[in-house]
Structure 1
Amino acid sequence: MEEIIIIPAIFIGLPWLILHYITKWKTSATITTDDEVLLEELYNLAKRLDDRMDTVERLVASDNPEFRPARLVHDSEQDNQQLRELEQLLAEKKGAAK
């Protein structure tokens, strides 16, 4: 009587359970296309805000010579290099998608 329950549990239940969690693991490990679009929009917004901040700091500095910008380094080459790398990755991804 016990064999009737054990055999289906081994050959049907166990593989189903394993495959179920493998599928869950694979779907949760990737971001969706909506997430990618949102990340790209946030990146573009952050870039525009950074440019605006630079403009505001330049305007305030021209009106008030004692003004010290809140940023440590204005238009840092290290930051710009990271932005260029990110833009290159985005361009490559768009090129591969077409």
Structure 2
Amino acid sequence: MVESIVAIVCLLVILPGMLLWYLDRRRKSDADPSSPGGPPLGDLSRHAARMEQRIEALEKLLDHEAPGWRKRDVE
């Protein structure tokens, strides 16, 4: 009797839970194999490109407003 209850619980609760956990892990690893659970590399590269454009714009503004700012940074 006890063995049949354990078998039913395993088939109806534990086995589907393990299957769902496995499928979720596989889905996450398929999204971005280099960093599981993190943002995709395409998003990171777009953010980096936008940041680079902003830095270039700020450097142009600083070159115009304070021409010697690069020399002060080295000293």
Q: TM-score range by the shorter chain?
A: 0.5 to 0.7
- Number of equivalent positions: 65
Calculate percent identity across the aligned residue pairs.
9
The runs of 4+ residues in structure 1 deviating greater than 6 Å are none
CA deviation string 1:21-59 (max 9, x = no partner): 233234343446xx4322211110100111111111111
Structure 2 unaligned segments of length 5 or more: list them.
29-35
TM-score (normalised: structure 1): 0.46
Structure 1 unaligned segments of length 5 or more: list them.
75-98
Considering Cα pairs closer than 8 Å and 6+ residues apart, tell me whether 1 or 2 has the greater RCO. 1
